[in-house]
Structure 1
Amino acid sequence: MNNQAEMLDIEENTRSISDYINVVRRRKRVLAITASSVMVVIILSAFLWPKTYRSQAIILIEQQDIPTDLVQTTITSYAQQRIEEIKQRIMTIGNIIGIVEEFGLYTEREMERKTRTEIAEEFRRAVSIRPISAEVVDPRSGRPTEAIIAFSLSFDGEVPSKVQKVTNEITTLYLDENLKDRTAQTKSTSDFLTAESEFLSEQLADLDTKIAIFKENNKGALPEQNQFNLSVVDRTELQINDLDFQIKALKKRKIQLDGDLTQISPSAPTMLSNGQMVLGEADRLKALQSQIRQYESTYHPGHPTLIRLRREVETLLAGGGKLDEYKEMTEQLKQERDTLDALEGKYTGDHSAVLQSKRIIASLESSLAETIQADAELTPDNPAYLVLRTRLNATNEDIRSNSEKIKALREKIERYEGYLSRAPQIEKEYQSLLRDYQNTYVKYQEIRSKKMSADLAQNLESERKGERFTLIQPPELPVDPVSPNITAMVFLAVILGVSAGLGVIILQEGMAAVIFGAAEVTALTGVAPLAVVGYMETKDEESKHNRKRFLIVLGLVLVAILVLLLFHWFIKPLDVTWYILMRKLGF
Structure 2
Amino acid sequence: MGDLDLRFYASIFFRRLPLFLAVAIPVATLGLAVAFMLPKIYQASAKILVEAPQISADLARPTVQTNAYQQLQVIEQQITTRENLVALAQRLGVYGGEFAKLAEADIVEDMRERMTFEELQQDGYGGQGARMFSVSFEGRDSRIAADVVNEVTEIILQRNESLRNDQARETLQFFQDEVARLGTELSVIEARILEFKNTNRDALPDSLDFRRTQQSTLQERMAALEREEAALRGRRNNLVELFEATGVIANAAPLTAEQQLLQDLKRTLSDQLVLFSETSPNITSLRARIAALEESVRSSNSADEDRLQKTKPPSELDLQLSDIDQRLAFITREKETIGKSLAKLTASVSATPANETVLNSLERDRLNLQNQYNVATARLAEASTGKQIEAGSKGERFTVIEPAIPPQDPIKSNRRRVAAAGAAMGGGLGLGLIFLLELLNKRVRRPAEIVQMFDAQPLATIPYISLPDEKRRSYLRPGLLFGAGAIPAALALLALSHASVGQFVQKIAARLGEGRIM
- Contact 1:14–1:520 (CA<8 Å) still a contact in 2? no
Alignment of 1:368-517 (within 5 A): 380=307, 382=309, 407-482=336-411, 484-506=413-435
For the 8 Å contact 2:124–2:130, the answer to whether it is kept is: no
Residue type of the partner of 1:451? L
User: Which residue identity does 1:181 align to in structure 2?
Assistant: L
Residue in 2 that maps onto 1:47? 36
Secondary structure of 1:120 counterpart:
helix
Q: In 2, Cα distance between the equivalents of 1:463 and 1:257? A: 108
Q: Distance in 2 between matches of 1:514 and 1:380?
A: 178
Taking a change above 3 Å as real, the CA distance of residues 394 and 166 of structure 1, as seen in their structure-2 partners, is farther
Quote the offset at 1:423 in angstroms.
0.8
C-alpha offsets along residues 436-493 of structure 1, whole Å, 9 cap, x if unaligned? 1112222222333333333344344334444433434432323343464223233333
Give, in angstroms, the shift of residue 212 of structure 1. Answer: 0.5
Q: How far, CA to CA, are the matches of 2:250 and 2:60 in structure 1?
A: 92
Structure 1 residue 64: Cα displacement = 4.1
Rg larger for: 1
Offset of 1:398 from its aligned partner?
8.9
Instruction: Give how far 1:247 is off.
Output: 8.8
Matching residue of 2:178: 196
After TM superposition, the score normalised by the length of structure 2 is 0.62
> SS at the partner of 1:477?
coil
1:169 and 1:27 map into 2 onto residues whose CA distance is 60
Question: Once the two structures are superposed, what CA deviation does each residue of 1:313-334 show, in whole Å capped at 9, x if it has no partner?
Answer: xxxxxxxxxxxxxxxxxxxxxx
Map of 1:253-272 to 2, 5 A cutoff? Answer: none
Are the equivalent residues in 2 in contact too, given 1:53–1:483 (CA < 8 A)? no
Q: Which whole-Å CA distance do the structure 1 matches of 2:434 and 2:462 have between them?
A: 31
Residue 116 (structure 2) aligned to one of 125, 128, 134: 128
Among the aligned pairs, what percent are the same residue? 23
Distance 1:387 1:72 in 2: 99
Letter in 2 for 1:90: I
- The Cα of 1:105 is off from its aligned counterpart by 2.0
Q: Which has the higher contact order (CA 8 A, sep 6+)?
A: 2
Q: 1:82 aligns with which of 58, 68, 71?
A: 71
Q: CA deviation at 1:171?
A: 1.9
Once the 2 structures are TM-superposed, how far is the Cα of residue 227 of structure 1 from its aligned partner? 1.1
Secondary structure, in 3 states, of the residue corresponding to 1:152?
Answer: strand
Distance 2:229 2:449 in 1: 159
In structure 2, distance between residues paired with 1:484 and 1:32? 28
Q: Identify which of 73, 80, 94 aligns with 2:83.
A: 94
User: Is the alpha carbon distance of 1:465 and 1:17 closer, same or farther for their aligned partners in structure 2, counting shifts above 3 Å?
Assistant: farther
TM-aligned CA distance change 1:240 to 1:512, over 3 Å: closer
The alignment covers a number of residue pairs equal to 414
Distance between the aligned counterparts of 2:315 and 2:93, measured in 1?
130
State the one-letter code of the partner of 2:192: K
Q: Are the counterparts in 1 of residues 38 and 415 from structure 2 also a CA contact under 8 Å? A: no
Q: Which residue of 1 aligns with 2:297?
A: none
Query: What root-mean-square deviation, in Å, do the aligned CA atoms of Structure 1 and Structure 2 show?
Result: 5.3
Shift of 1:68: 4.6
Q: Counterpart of 1:359?
A: none
2:24 counterpart letter in structure 1? A
Report the Cα offset of residue 176 of structure 1.
2.0
Alpha-carbon distance in 2 for matches of 1:215, 1:206? 14
Letter in 2 for 1:122: D
Asked whether the 8 Å contact 1:226–1:420 carries over to 2, the reply is yes
Give, in whole Å, the separation in 2 of the partners of 1:44 and 1:32: 17
- Contact kept? 2:31, 2:423, Cα under 8 Å: no
Whether the 8 Å CA contact 2:203–2:348 is kept in 1: the answer is yes
User: Do the aligned partners of 2:49 and 2:130 also contact (CA within 8 Å) in 1?
Assistant: no
Match of 2:212 in 1: 230
Deviation at 1:18, TM superposition (A): 3.8
CA drift of 1:71 comes to 4.5
Cα deviation, residue 56, structure 1: 2.3
Which residue matches 2:257?
A: none
The one-letter code of the counterpart of 1:52 is I
CA contact 1:52–1:484 (8 Å) conserved in 2: yes
8 Å CA contact 2:143–2:405 kept in 1: the answer is no
1:312 is matched with: none
Q: Which runs of 5+ in 2 are unaligned?
A: 240-248, 255-303, 505-518
CA distance in structure 2 between the partners assigned to 1:171 and 1:453 by the alignment: 31
Decide whether the 8 Å contact of 2:205 with 2:355 is kept in 1: yes
Partner of 2:163: 181
Contact kept, 8 Å, 1:103 with 1:166, in 2: the verdict is yes
Matched, 1:119 2:101: no
Letter in structure 1 aligned against 2:378: S
Write the distance in 2 (CA, Å) between the matches of 1:244 and 1:196: 64
Aligned position for 2:510: none
Give the TM-score of the pair, scaled to structure 1: 0.56
Contact 1:126–1:157 (Cα < 8 Å) also in 2:
yes
Give the Å deviation of 1:172.
1.9
SS in 2 for 1:220: helix
SS in 1 for 2:100: helix
Distance 1:208 1:229 in 2: 26
Q: Distance between the aligned counterparts of 2:153 and 2:459, measured in 1?
A: 82
Unaligned runs of 5+ in 1: 1-11, 262-376, 571-587
Q: CA deviation at 1:30?
A: 4.3
Aligned counterparts of 1:526 and 1:464: Cα–Cα separation in 2:
100
Q: Given residue 450 of structure 1, which amino acid in structure 2 is its aligned partner?
A: R
Does structure 2 retain, via aligned residues, the 8 Å contact 1:522–1:529? no
**Bigger CA drift: 465-474 or 510-519?**
510-519
Alpha-carbon separation, structure 2, partners of 1:257 and 1:215: 60
2:196 alignment partner AA: F
Offset at residue 420 of structure 1 (A): 0.8
Give the Cα separation in 2 of the matches to 1:523 and 1:432: 109
Rate the CA distance shift 1:109–1:250 in 2: closer, same or farther, 3 A.
same
